[in-house]
Amino acid sequence: MSTDELPPEPEDGTLSEATDADRFTNARAIRSTALFEDYTELIADLTEEFGEARITDIARRLGVTHPTANKAVLRLKREGLVISRPYRGVFLTETGAAMAREVKARHRLVVRLLIAVGVPADAAEMDAEGIEHYVSETTLKAFEAYLGDRE
């Protein structure tokens, strides 16, 4: 994007306080949602691979302790994203499965874009893990349009 395509800056060079507050509020909300998204995405992967997602496997894959994974799964249960059964694993609800599908689609799109602009595949995969949570629908549509124009 050239500098003449950027939106004009305010004459005094500052953004309004409302704009700043909106951006920071949005960023905080996304950070809390990112945890849910990472867990639902992983639970979907584990369920696909093993038929269920055990707390032990979740903790190992995410590099967290068993109590940390257990606490996160309890939060997911409270939010209606997963259910668990005694002596069985953790399973996504329909809402959790929808979240996991959405996150996977965003992840794939971000990886495709990063590779298209020259990022090596392994770095694109790693970077997409963070970017996928912070990118807006408007930006995702722009990514799709950009990639569509290149194909």
How many CB atoms are located within 10 Å of the residue 75 CB?
A: 14
- 9 within a domain of the structure (yes/no): no
Length of the chain: 151
Instruction: Tell me if 2 is assigned to some domain.
Output: no
- Judge whether 1 lies within some domain: no
114 by Cβ neighbours in 10 Å (0-12 / 13-18 / 19+) ranks as buried
pLDDT at 32: 66
Domain that includes residue 64, residue range: 17-150
Q: What is the CATH number of the domain that holds 88?
A: 1.10.10.10
The segments of the chain whose pLDDT lies below 50 read 1-6
Torsion of CA 67, 69, 71, 75, to 10 degrees: -170
What's the whole-model pTM score?
Answer: 0.76
| pLDDT score at 149 | 79
Give residue 28's pLDDT.
Answer: 57
| Buried-exposed string 43-68: b where 16+ CB fall within 10 A, e elsewhere | bbebbeeeeebebebbbeeeeeeeee
